[in-house]
Amino acid sequence: MGKNTKNILMMMHDFSKQFEYKIDSGMIIEITMFLEECEDIGSFKLDYTVESATYTVDILVKNFSYIKGRKILKKFVNSIEYSSMTLYSSQQDKEKIHYTLYTIMDNGTGAHCEIMIKAF
């Protein structure tokens, strides 16, 4: 990872601290529905930590590729994002893509997701 990428990730993380994140039953339902209905997903695991208010999503993809992983992420964002703002970053290698995603409502509360997409 280059110096500029690290700086961008630090700035994004610092910016995200001004919002309040929480685990919400509606968000759990939205994430689960997306994961169950997406045809490219071979299997998945959804977990969440109330203390850190973070959703952890592990997705195993049939015939994994970077392009397929990005398409799944875009569909995921369209399915779960809040109306005010969505911000995400990615780090990838040949075998996986890791996304950090923040989505915020107008009132300043939102969801923080750590998403790993990799080969099935």
Predicted confidence at residue 117, as pLDDT, reads 98
Which residues span the domain enclosing 60?
Answer: 3-119
**20: domain CATH number?**
3.30.460
Instruction: Compute the average pLDDT of residues 70-79.
Output: 97
Predicted confidence at residue 94, as pLDDT, reads 86
pLDDT confidence tier of residue 4, bands split at 50, 70 and 90? confident
Q: In 3D, which of 90, 118, 86 has the Cα closest to residue 103?
A: 86
Is residue 51 a contact partner of residue 42, using CB atoms and an 8 Å limit? no
pLDDT digits (tens, 9 = 90+) for 12-66: 999 999 999 999 999 999 999 999 999 999 999 999 999 999 999 999 998 899 9
> What is the tally of structural domains in the chain?
1
Share in percent of the chain as helix, strand, coil (round to 5):
35, 40, 25
Burial of 96 (0-12, 13-18, 19+ CB in 10 A): middle
